[in-house]
Amino acid sequence: MNKRAPTAGPEAVSAPILGIETSCDETAAAVLSADGVVLAEAGHSQLQEHARFGGVVPEVAARAHLSRLPAMVADVMRRAGVAFSDLCGVAATAGPGLIGGLVVGSSFGKGVALAHALPFVPVNHLEAHALTVLMPGLGEPAFPYLLLLVSGGHCQCVAVLGLGRYRRLGTTLDDAVGEAFDKSAKLLGLPWPGGPALEQLAKLGDPAAIPLPRPLLGRPGCDFSFSGLKTAVARAVAQGGRREDIAASFQAAVAAVLADRARHALRLMPDATALVVAGGVAANAAVRQALAGEALRAGVAQEAPPPRLCGDNAVMVAWAGLLRLRAGLSGAVDFAPRPRWPLSEMTCA
């Protein structure tokens, strides 16, 4: 069955796609139908493997991906009731991320694609986060929209102009926001990764109790900075502040800064239809609430994928692959994984 014509340009895709994610510490695989419905998905977070080191160890991550991915792919294919030869293509994260994991996932994907004469789609992990909200049944905002990408490795305001067309409006000058959550959580004695644990602790605290800085708030542009905030958390801990109050005050400061930066970015994008928040930190309720207020003020929709699709997952990778195949944009099987792959270097042809 020819599921995809070899020429470039918009195409009807009529078969399911397999997606693979291995760029950091989540091993994941998913099968989506041609219209983007999830047929089967699986994910294994390597938290236990890395917890005793207090962070992701690249070699440990690569080995864990290698040991889990083959069985996981077989499992999602079986549950989806799809044979490899029935797929329209294979999408795998090819960057940015930790090179060992990227090599494991993309090599596996290329192997399946070559063995079954399918297109291979090298997916940019950031593009996958950026496009998740376009999945059927989610917000489905129209281009252009403002993306606030807030994760453990990234903190950016991005103008999403179309598939493969991105303009970075601002980024962090030091730590990513998820990193700030993780480091502050560690200072509070919480287990890694600290974001979700800090959010729980913050529920028991007073967000106005500890005066913490709000770095770059009100400054022109939409860059971020979080290292000063983390230092202030360290000071508050050393001074014996109540842990719950420090957590709540930290979270309030982060939410205020993200809202302020989003406000500035929206001013740079007067034609934006929506404010979309994605990445692991988008699971945080206080952050979502602050951004919803900002979107309301700017008169645009606020969209965020459901929390389970905010963190790393293979559904978003399969979806990005599907959109690329539909646009006639499959990649080459000799695409070399890219540990650094800014969205501004994406191609749309």
Out of Zn ion, ligand KG4, none, which partner does residue 100 contact, by CB within 5 to 8 A per kind? none
Out of Zn ion, ligand KG4, none, which partner does residue 281 contact, by CB within 5 to 8 A per kind? ligand KG4
User: Is 151 a residue that touches Zn ion (CB under 5 A)?
Assistant: yes
Region near Zn ion per CB under 5 A, out of 102-110, 145-153, 170-178, 229-237: 145-153
Query: Smallest distance, Å, CB 305 to ligand KG4?
Result: 11
Residue with the two structure tokens 């989806």: 80
Query: Smallest distance, Å, CB 349 to Zn ion?
Result: 25
User: Is 312 a residue that touches Zn ion (CB under 5 A)?
Assistant: yes
- CB nearer to ligand KG4: give 19 or 311: 311
- CB nearer to ligand KG4: give 22 or 151: 151
- CB nearer to ligand KG4: give 61 or 87: 61
Backbone angles phi, psi at 49, to 5 degrees: -65, -35
User: Which positions lie near ligand KG4, rule CB under 6 A?
Assistant: 24, 151-153, 178, 181-182, 193-196, 199, 279-281, 283-284, 311-312
Query: Smallest distance, Å, CB 50 to ligand KG4?
Result: 12
CB-side neighbour CA atoms (13 Å) of 146: 32
Q: Which two tokens stand for residue 32?
A: 């989506």
Task: Determine the residue type at 301.
Answer: A
- Maximum distance among all Cα pairs of the chain, rounded to whole angstroms: 68
CB-side neighbour CA atoms (13 Å) of 17: 33
- CB nearer to ligand KG4: give 86 or 244: 244
Cα–Cα distance list, 128 to 90, 102, 147, 162, 244 (Å): 14, 15, 12, 13, 34
Query: Smallest distance, Å, CB 17 to Zn ion?
Result: 19
CB 91 within 8 Å of CB 313: no
- CB nearer to ligand KG4: give 56 or 77: 56
How far apart are alpha carbons 202 and 326 in whole angstroms?
Answer: 43
- CB nearer to ligand KG4: give 221 or 306: 306
Query: Smallest distance, Å, CB 44 to Zn ion?
Result: 15
Which of 281, 344, 323 is CA-nearest to residue 123?
323
- CB nearer to ligand KG4: give 255 or 322: 255
- Residue 303 DSSP code: E
User: Is 25 a residue that touches Zn ion (CB under 5 A)?
Assistant: no
How far apart are alpha carbons 18 and 303 in whole angstroms?
Answer: 26
Region near Zn ion per CB under 5 A, out of 168-176, 234-242, 267-275, 311-319: 311-319
Where does residue 2 fall: left (phi above 0), alpha (psi -120 to 50 degrees), or beta otherwise?
beta
For residue 93, the tally of other CB atoms under 10 A from its CB is: 34
Out of Zn ion, ligand KG4, none, which partner does residue 178 contact, by CB within 5 to 8 A per kind? ligand KG4
Helices 99-115 and 58-80 cross at an angle (nearest 10°) of 30
- CB nearer to Zn ion: give 188 or 319: 319
CB 168 within 8 Å of CB 157: yes
User: Is 199 a residue that touches Zn ion (CB under 5 A)?
Assistant: no
Query: Smallest distance, Å, CB 149 to ligand KG4?
Result: 9
Out of ligand KG4, Zn ion, none, which partner does residue 181 contact, by CB within 5 to 8 A per kind? ligand KG4
Using alpha carbons only, give the angle 115, 121, 126 rounded to the nearest 5 degrees.
145
Contacting positions for Zn ion (CB under 5 A): 151, 312
